[in-house]
């Protein structure tokens, strides 16, 4: 049990209310929480990776499997079906033998990747800061 911080500056921590210019509420209590909406769609382990993989090119099932590398067939299958269901991905079956199935992004799926770039840019820019925070944490507690 790590003993974290002690109270440093109590008076400083008391926050008033955010009554005036309340920034856009990300977490809404009752009906339709936007963050939940996003999470329900792409909050699992694989959806984002699949979308990212399909971004530059249409891919077949097994290629996708190998491209991502550490996803199981079952999960890839399930993920693709959900993405198709939600309209992010289009599935084309060619009735050949052996079967050929191609997955490509829809316009909706493609449009989703746009705001994603913001997050990626963030990760890129703040990677060092996160590393530093981890090191500080280890020094403070893990050690």
Partner DNA sequence: ACCCTATGGTCCACTTTGTAGACCATTGAG
Partner DNA sequence: CTCAATGGTCTACAAAGTGGACCATAGGGT
Residue with Cβ nearer DNA (36 or 126): 36
Residue 75 tokens, joined: 């999960």
Q: How far is the CB of 1 from DNA (least distance, A)?
A: 6
Query: 103: burial class by Cβ within 10 Å (0-12, 13-18, 19+)?
Result: buried
Q: Does 77 bind a second copy (CB under 8 A)?
A: no
Q: Does 20 bind a second copy (CB under 8 A)?
A: no
Q: Does 73 bind a second copy (CB under 8 A)?
A: no
In the list a second copy, DNA, none, the entry touching 28 (Cβ below 5 to 8 angstroms by class) is: a second copy
Q: How far is the CB of 104 from DNA (least distance, A)?
A: 12
Residue 86 tokens, joined: 């939600």
In the list a second copy, DNA, none, the entry touching 74 (Cβ below 5 to 8 angstroms by class) is: DNA
Of the candidates 31, 128, 48, the one whose C-alpha atom is nearest the C-alpha of residue 89 is: 48
Subset of residues 47 to 76 that bind DNA, contact rule: CB under 7 A: 60-63, 70-75
Q: Does 120 bind a second copy (CB under 8 A)?
A: yes
Q: Does 10 bind a second copy (CB under 8 A)?
A: yes
Interatomic CA distance for residues 106 and 89, integer angstroms: 5
Phi first, then psi, for residue 23 (nearest 5°) are -65, 155
Q: How far is the CB of 50 from a second copy (least distance, A)?
A: 9
Residue 142 tokens, joined: 């893990």
Query: 109: burial class by Cβ within 10 Å (0-12, 13-18, 19+)?
Result: buried
Subset of residues 97 to 116 that bind DNA, contact rule: CB under 7 A: 97-101
């Amino acid at each position: 049990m790590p003993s974290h911080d002690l109270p440093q500056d109590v008076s400083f921590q008391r926050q008033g209310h955010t009554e005036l210019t309340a920034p856009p509420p990300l977490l809404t209590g009752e009906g339709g929480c936007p963050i939940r909406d996003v999470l329900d769609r792409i909050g699992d382990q694989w959806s984002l990776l699949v979308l990212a993989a399909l971004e530059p090119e249409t891919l077949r099932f097994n290629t996708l499997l190998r491209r991502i590398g550490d996803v199981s067939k079952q999960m890839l299958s399930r993920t693709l079906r959900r993405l198709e269901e939600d309209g992010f991905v289009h599935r084309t079956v060619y009735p050949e033998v052996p079967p050929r199935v191609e997955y490509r992004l829809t316009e909706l799926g493609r449009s989703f990747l746009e705001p994603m770039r913001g997050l990626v840019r963030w990760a890129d820019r703040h990677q060092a800061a996160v590393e530093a925070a981890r090191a500080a944490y280890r020094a403070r507690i893990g050690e």
